[in-house]
Structure 1
Amino acid sequence: MISAIPVPKPTESTHHRLFEFAKTALIKIFVSPYATVCDLYCGGVPDEDKWDEAQIGHYIAIDVAQSGISQVQEAWESQRKAYTSEFFELDPCIEDMESRLQDKGNMADIVCCMQHLQLCFETEEKARRLLHNVSLLLKPGCYFFGICPDSSTIWAKYQKNVEAYHNKSSSMKPNLVPNCIRSESYMITFEVEEEKFPFFGKKYQLKFASDISAETHCLVHFPSLIRLAREAGLEYVEIQNLTEFYDDNRAQFAGMLLDAGPSLVDPRGRLLPRSYDVLGLYTTFVFQKPDPDIAPPLMTPLLQDGSHNHDEREWQGSVWRDDEKNGQTEPPSLALSKITEQKGILGPGPADLRFSEAL
């Protein structure tokens, strides 16, 4: 029987409740009892209630020192958990875990990153280091999963703004590009006004209506994420917008959102418009470290030498092609063709997530 998310406090925002739901659902799907879990960027308040309910066997928390992880460790250990735990102060997208964790390599059944993956896309080297460390930690056959902003959806909304602006303001300065996306729930502002999507370092601020200040993120270029993961020995399994993730698992998890508070879903468990808008800003990601003794089917398309550069440039163009906007892509002749056919990777996300006009 699926247990409900704890009843939210009146001050908890729609965004917070939906995000907590997504984390709970992923943990229920992937984490088995007695598993060894490594939680990257666990934050100032690790999801202790979720790990308690999952009945894990061992917990490894990793975060940067600024998060106050030593205080978190003291509070965590004072609760006398049923499982053992370890805490490490380091930045997994900068430091080499092999020297810091010594005998911890290849011991985790699960590595998760529920926040901050997008910050590792500030540079290619940071993203590469993170994925190398994940591969080091994981046992063969086990999974790396988490949640990050859906850059396909965010960029599609931005492109929609750009197109509408140019259509309505042809007499204005041609080099002026609008850099802000607004809805009733959030505002997204790009630091640099441009129409290109660089693979790394494309920063923006995301501010929800209930938050005092905005958070800085980087767009995650999904083809580069898949390519770097493969270089690190991790095979792509799925990247899925959270609205699609919810629809696929609605029969199992709708009750959790019904119990999480009003204004999230209707009585039949379908997402209400505001919930759909907020949840659609995020995506799941799932990778697996292959077990050479089992030889699972190959999930990630083989990349021909140098081919990824061509296909990533196809996505970097200033405006989406009409067939891409409609979710109908003709597979390119080179290597990443199978990736373009998957949901939530190269396409601009579900059509319902796009604004009907610039806001």
Structure 2
Amino acid sequence: MNSSKPESTHRRLYEFAKTSLIKIFVLPYATVCDLYCGNGADMDKWDEAQIGHYIGIDTLASEISGFREVWESQRKSHTADFCEADPCVENLESLLREMSVPADIVCCLQHLQLCFETEERARSLLRNVSAILRPGGYFFGITPDSSTIWAKYQKNVEASHNRAGGMKPNTVPNCVRSESYMITFEVEEEKFPLFGKKYQLKFTNEVFSETHCLVHFPSLIRLAREAGLEYVEIQNLTEFYDDNRAQFAEMLFNAGPNVLVDAKGKLLSRSFDILGLYTTFIFQKPDPDNVPPISTPQQDDEYIYEEEWRDDEKRRNWEPISPIPEQAKGLLGPGPTELRYSEPLDLQYFLDSV
């Protein structure tokens, strides 16, 4: 049966995650700016959310043109504008001056990771988001969970070292496999930079692989704050599902209980493995009229990050990306529970890695 194919499982789970985020955060009549909107695959989701105005932005003129044609032919209840632009390069505030901005919601549901090719691209994206988002509005989306991916890779490296004993320097396996996907890093190495660490993700039976960059979440939070956005939450999709199972389990159950979830709504192993590759991210632009203003939850000193940035060789302190204790997190982000480190992280190793 077609629905049992791994790539179908991947698509259904990803669609579930996008639909769930939209249902949680998007209110009726909202103005939504959709970054890297593609050819309009999520158009029906926005229509069901009863938004008032939609702004679709993508780098490809062909995608934007196709999206506009489909939208016009279907006569959706909301109004729409479309713009060909790269949110990591161009000034969206000036490009969208004639459109319905500021927006209530800015989302990036599939390509945030490509913005982490360089620090300047990531910084430019977040400045654009802040510029076109109204005070109190949310910036949210989905991206591969770098902690999950890197933890799987490190376990693979460790296993290879144990098997081979004295491996030659700089000879590190660069591939992670499961029954549902294969992850291949472009460069075989044990260390990673904060930006530009590329890899390919290919799902079983799919023809093409996707090229991504690891998203270093502490850097994402740092750059977001520089742009005037406050961190709300970064959560692996397996935990996002568990937290919202009562509300959303039926969506997956109806999609195929023998493929995605069991009769009680619990994720089956393949679904868990695939969802665990992704994480949500949520930020909010502070509203000075709100009392008290939003802020990142305060943490005890023992949960503070110390990170050394190579550009100025200064050491700065950062709160963790979630209230999960330090010893329970991976190097780059939340990650699913079974992939978190069982003992406290070696901070010096992390500093040496970057």
Could you say whether these structures have the same fold, taking a TM-score greater than 0.5 normalized by the shorter chain as the test? yes
Aligned-pair distance for 1:178?
A: 0.4
Alpha-carbon contact 2:185-2:200 (below 8 Å) kept: yes
- Aligned positions of 1:133-282 closer than 5 A: 133-261=128-256, 262-282=258-278
The alignment's TM-score, normalised by the length of structure 2, stands at: 0.86
Q: Distance in 1 between matches of 2:51 and 2:259?
A: 32
Report how far residue 185 of structure 1 moved.
Answer: 0.1
- Cα displacement (A) at 1:128: 0.5
For 2:117, the aligned partner's letter is: E
Distance change (3 Å), C-alpha of 1:160 and 1:345: closer
Cα drift, residue 353 of structure 1: 4.4
Stretches of structure 1 that go unaligned for 5 or more consecutive residues are: 1-7, 314-332
* Corresponding position of 1:89: 84
Aligned counterpart for 2:295 among listed residues 269, 276, 298 = 298
Separation in structure 2 between the aligned mates of residue 18 and residue 165 of structure 1, nearest angstrom: 31
The match for 2:282 is 286
**Residue aligning to 2:28:** 33
Aligned mates of 1:211, 1:312 — CA distance in 2: 39
User: Contact 2:215/2:332 (CA < 8 Å) preserved in 1?
Assistant: no
Offset, 1:209: 0.5
Matched, 1:46 2:41: yes
Aligned residues: 325
Aligned counterparts of 1:53 and 1:15: Cα–Cα separation in 2: 22
Query: 3-state SS of the aligned residue for 1:254?
Result: helix
Whether 1:127 aligns to 2:113 is: no
Closer/same/farther in 2, CA of residues 338 and 190 from structure 1, 3 Å limit: closer
Distance 2:76 2:322 in 1: 44
Following superposition, the deviation at residue 105 of structure 1 comes to 7.7
Task: For residues 283-306 of structure 1, give each alpha carbon's deviation from its aligned partner in whole angstroms, at most 9, with x where no partner exists.
Answer: 00000000011142321669xxxx
Distance 1:66 1:292 in 2: 38
Residues 152 and 347, structure 1, Cα contact 8 Å, conserved in 2: yes
Taking the aligned partners of 1:345 and 1:67, their CA distance within structure 2 comes to 38
After TM superposition, the score normalised by the length of structure 1 is 0.84
Runs of 4+ in 1 over 3 A off after TM superposition: 8-12, 103-106, 337-348
Aligned residue runs from structure 1 range 91-130, under 5 A: 91-104=86-99, 106-130=101-125
The 3 A distance-change label for structure 1 pair 26 and 339 is closer
Deviation at 1:352, TM superposition (A): 2.4
Helix, strand or coil for the counterpart of 1:16?
helix
Q: Hey, what does 1:318 align to over in structure 2?
A: none
Matched, 1:352 2:333: no
Q: Give, in whole Å, the separation in 2 of the partners of 1:267 and 1:348.
A: 28
Alpha-carbon distance change, 194 to 348 in structure 1, aligned in 2, over 3 angstroms: farther
Structure 1 residues 344 and 32, CA, compared in 2 at 3 Å: closer, same or farther?
Answer: farther
Structure 1 residue 161 displacement after superposition: 0.8
Task: Tell me the SS of whatever aligns to 1:102.
Answer: coil
Q: How much does 1:336 deviate? A: 1.9
State the SS of the aligned residue for 2:158: helix
**Contact 1:106 1:140 (8 Å CA) reproduced:** no
Identity of aligned residues (%): 70
Q: Which residues in structure 2 correspond to 1:49-88 (within 5 Å)?
A: 49-88=44-83
- Contact between 1:64 and 1:91, CA under 8 Å: does it hold in 2? yes
Which one is further off, 338-347 or 116-125?
A: 338-347
Quick one: which amino acid aligns to residue 286 of structure 2?
P
Cα deviations by residue, 1:124-145 (Å, 9 ceiling, x for unpaired): 0100111011111111001000
Residue equivalent to 2:317: 335
Instruction: Give ranges in structure 2 of 5+ residues lacking alignment.
Output: 310-314, 342-354
* Aligned-partner residue type, residue 58 of structure 2: D
**SS across alignment from 1:161:** helix
CA distance in structure 2 between the aligned counterparts of 1:345 and 1:132, rounded to whole angstroms:
26
Counterparts of 1:354 and 1:215 in 2: how far apart (Å)? 25
Question: What amino acid is aligned across from residue 143 of structure 1 in structure 2?
Answer: Y
